[in-house]
Amino acid sequence: MPTKTLFSVFDVARQVFYQSRSCLGIVNLKPLIPGHVLVIPRRVVPRLTDLKPDEISELFLSVQTIGRVIEKAYKAEALTVSIQDGIAAGQSVPHVHVHILPRGSTGPFSEDKDSMYPALEASEEGLRADLEKKQAGSGSGGAKFAVPKDDERAPRTEEEMEKEAKWLETFF
């Protein structure tokens, strides 16, 4: 039986597009905007302080590598890189994860750039429930669109996430 690729207790093997010795890049179940991805350590730990020095280093080197690719793939001008480190900070899944979101001077969140942060926090609030639903039911770049409210964003299917992961994998 193949080993699972875990984001906390959730198998995300089909969402992986990047792998290093101790980190993974995964596509997001409910992205705020196209290209919103996560970077996670392979070892399941809830807080940054739980990571060993070499894991911290590789996590942020992976964020840098993946960030360059996300900017290229989604024709972005910049990135928002964010971590909610602990429940009080809005972390809903007890596994360190870094959000990378491509940003530009047009498109979602371009008028009020700081509106990204409340949207990101709101999306974290429902993430655990969405992942649990996905787990129970499971066995194009640069597009411009209005960002729907979190409760209006349906979780993507395994097939949708796998398609994006395979496409992103071609950039590495």
Catalytic residue (one of 97, 103, 134, 156): 97
Q: In terms of DSSP H, where are the helices of 30-145?
A: 53-73, 116-125, 127-137
Please check if 91 is assigned to a binding site.
yes
Please check if 126 is assigned to a binding site.
no
d(CA 90, CA 59): 20
Q: Around 19, how many Cα atoms within 13 Å sit in the side-chain half-sphere?
A: 11
Q: Around 148, how many Cα atoms within 13 Å sit in the side-chain half-sphere?
A: 9
Per the annotation, the verdict on 95 as an active-site residue is no
Please check if 95 is assigned to a binding site.
no
Please check if 123 is assigned to a binding site.
no
DSSP 2-44: PPP-EETTEE-GGGEEEE-SSEEEEE-SS-SSTT-EEEEESS-
Please check if 28 is assigned to a binding site.
yes
Which helix (DSSP H) or strand (DSSP E) does residue 164 occupy? helix 158-169
Active site residues: 97
Known binding-site positions for substrate: 28, 84, 90-93, 99
